[in-house]
Amino acid sequence: MENSTKYKIFLFFIFFIFWLWAAKNPLYYDDWLIENYLVFIFVPLLIIMGTYFKLSDLSYTLITIFMILHVIGSHYTYSEVPFGYILQDWLSASRNMYDRLVHFSFGLLLAYPIREIFLRLAKVRGFWGYYLPLDLTLSFSALYEIIEWSAAISVDPNAGVAFLGTQGDVWDAQKDMLLAGMGAFTTMLITAIINLIYNKNFWIEMKESFRKDKNDGPLGEVKLKKFFHKNNLTKHI
């Protein structure tokens, strides 16, 4: 068995240990169940995807760390994780800060795997290899907030409040999305600096990413007219 495969199995084993711990006597079972919908969907999807499109060990490591942070939050609920109270004291905050930490980590840890997918599947280059992961991270963050709200109003009120974890902050969702964006920006900035140092073609690639292909043209109505003409549809309109 190759070392990379062994390492992925090791990461899954570490995550599974944390998941078993989190599943044992969670503080609020209903909240634990809601939080774990992400696990039940995302982990099998990641495994299935890995059979034909393998990410780097770095990406899998970052994903595993984030998922561990998530299941820890599911055990206590995000607003009652003990380490969150330690952060609260360190930052002189008025609330448990674990929720904020995980939303920042969402961007910090998942932006790079998203970048890898963009680079390898969509073949993006230069500037777009840094901007699009940030953009998609913010989109995922907004989508999660919508799902969170939808789920919270569909379950037991106490479980819904625990799941939302707003802790009385009416701007909680907006702050969570901001932190996810800041985390993604931090990762993309670090990635760009590393590439700037070690990639001699960094600025060339950045410049080339703003150049259009010579055979490229406008889309919209221009593309639609070409489609009609190609398929001899204009005479029927």
- pLDDT over 60 (residue 166): no
For 40, the domain range is 3-236
The pair of three-digit structure tokens given for residue 32, joined into one six-digit string: 């634990």
**Cα 29 to Cα 49: distance, rounded to the nearest angstrom:** 30
Q: Quickly state the pLDDT bin for 155 (edges 50, 70, 90).
A: low
Note the pTM of the prediction, 2 decimals.
0.84
| 183 or 233, higher pLDDT | 183
pLDDT digits (tens, 9 = 90+) for 33-63: 888 888 898 899 998 888 888 999 999 999 9
| 81 contacts 73 by C-beta, under 8 angstroms | yes
- pLDDT over 70 (residue 218): yes
Q: Quickly state the pLDDT bin for 13 (edges 50, 70, 90).
A: very high
| 187 contacts 108 by C-beta, under 8 angstroms | yes
pLDDT digits (tens, 9 = 90+) for 80-104: 899 999 998 998 888 888 999 999 9
CA-wise closest residue to 194 among 101, 124, 115, 121: 115
Number of separate domains in the chain:
1
Residues found in the chain:
237
pLDDT digits (tens, 9 = 90+) for 195-206: 999 999 999 999
What's the pLDDT at 57?
94
| 16 contacts 58 by C-beta, under 8 angstroms | no
**Cα 171 to Cα 198: distance, rounded to the nearest angstrom:** 41
The pair of three-digit structure tokens given for residue 204, joined into one six-digit string: 């060339």
